[in-house]
Structure 1
Amino acid sequence: MTSLSARWATDDERARWDELVTANPAGGDFLQSSTVAEAKVPHGMEPKHVVFERSGETVSAALFHERRIPGLGKLWLGNRAPGVQRVDELEDHLDALRLFLRRHGRGVFLVTFEPPVVSDDETEAALLASASLTAPDLHRREGIQGN
């Protein structure tokens, strides 16, 4: 299988952002919508639209909110991103995002992400067995997300 890659969304993709988010493997989520992206701008958060693709085909779209933190750099918040449900999908997306940020994420010091992956014994075992998701640059925090 070809590896997943990440890139900035085009103008056309940003114009139809909600359509792309709805097509995510986990389905759409309001927190990934263009409405939420626009609503956070007055609060100092710049929307960053990232598209994940494999062999030229879009796999998913993720919205991150960038906030500048004086003295530290840029914080990216990915509420309900990436829009995947399985651990293998999360691994692929995280690996692609790491590579993308190494090239295009100058000044980004922290990225949070909250994928809609259901927590159960099988998922927990897969998370613990994942090299991508147990890497030294990743800190996992348990939590509850409510919409």
Structure 2
Amino acid sequence: MTLRDATPDERSRWDDLVWGNPGGPELYQLDSYAGLKAPEWRARHLVHEHEGRPPVHALYLYRRVPPFGELWYCPMGPRVADADHARACFEDLRPAGIGRPFAVVLEPSVTAEGPQDRENLIASVPGMRDHPDLQLGQHTVLVDLRPDEEEILAGFRQRARRYIRKSSEAVVEHRTDEDAFEVMWRLYDETLERAGVQERRPRAYHEGLWRTYIEAGLGHFVLARPREDGDHEAGAFIIYRDGLGYYKDGGSLRTRDSNGLQYKVQWEAMRWCKEHGATTYDMYGAPPSWDADDESHPMHPLVQFKTAFGPIVDQVGTMQLVLRPRTFRAWDRVGMPVYRRLTAKSGPFY
């Protein structure tokens, strides 16, 4: 087993190598995501190599948190195909040669049929602990864009088809201009306020994220007006790269005209991605399928909307490998609460 830094050649091809990982592609493993997290988080581009298995190119972010040392985080990774490969990657992190983190937060791309798959993986790795999920993509809805449009529509629930038909007069725009940022922020911010989301990042962070992907040629806004002479009442920011479309952020007003307009936005986003070669569209974010009926789950308000396009699929979720137990105990009890307070104004710690 080997864990090493990526070579200069691998660094120059990093995004393409990530897209070919055995566990599938992932936006949050790209260089663009590392740029978004800087300077609070620095990047390590590492390669896990195991005999008989394809290499795993893994973006690790690390943050110095004095006096504890380095905390590492592998967002939505490592991208492995199964639990055995994940365990091999976890073992790579134990030697001190590649760095000296006291803990590593991991989000391996291991599918889960139920919570027991997560529990079993954590229990099988010495030093592994539970950790609240950090990224919404751990549980999501994936739409297969390979069939023709009529077949795709037929696979949606009746609710989605009804709202898409109802919005036949809607005007949908695919935009990247400066005015679109203002429109999208208004829709997004109002939606978060209405949902009562308390812990969220400032406008500058979200606009910076949108701009990063737009400037990289990967993202754009999909904005909708209920009719030609109407105002924008629903919108989404979508990202597309090499066969995979993502629904990253969305928002809508709560008016009679906007009722159901987000279904039309999603359908037009899927159609655009399909026309540009996508075979899968990721709705990016849902509660675990086994908690879909739990009204106390923070993602529950999205269940009815997203499952109208397909079933929820799950991964094992976020976990934390403790490498220096005494340091970690001090961090967990004292350090993390203090750092959360210190960074509160700029948004969530991660």
**Counterpart pick for 1:45 among 18, 41, 45:** 41
Q: Note if contact 1:78-1:113 (Cα within 8 Å) is conserved in structure 2.
A: yes
Separation in 2, partners of 1:29, 1:88:
20
Q: Residue 55 and residue 128 in structure 1: after superposition, are their counterparts in 2 closer, same or farther (change >3 A)? A: closer
Match of 1:36 in 2: 33
Match of 1:76 in 2: 72
C-alpha distance after superposition, 1:61-104 (max 9, x if no partner):
100111110211111111111101311111111112223xx222
For structure 2, which runs of at least 5 residues remain unmatched after alignment? 138-350
Match of 1:17 in 2: 14
**Counterpart pick for 1:116 among 106, 109, 121:** 109
Q: Residue 104 and residue 141 in structure 1: after superposition, are their counterparts in 2 closer, same or farther (change >3 A)? A: same
| Identical counterparts, % of pairs | 34
Separation in 1, partners of 2:71, 2:134:
21
Deviation at 1:120, TM superposition (A): 1.9
Q: Note if contact 1:87-1:126 (Cα within 8 Å) is conserved in structure 2.
A: no
For residue 112 of structure 2, what is the amino acid of its counterpart? S
SS in structure 2 opposite 1:115? coil
Spell out structure 1 runs of 4+ moving beyond 6 A. Answer: none
Query: Does 2:144 correspond to 1:143?
Result: no
Deviation at 1:129, TM superposition (A): 6.5
**Counterpart pick for 1:8 among 1, 5, 8:** 5
Higher Cα Rg, which structure: 2
Separation in 1, partners of 2:27, 2:91:
25
Separation in 2, partners of 1:97, 1:139:
15
Q: How many pairs does the alignment contain?
A: 136
Aligned-residue CA RMSD (Å): 2.3
**Counterpart pick for 2:97 among 88, 103, 110:** 103
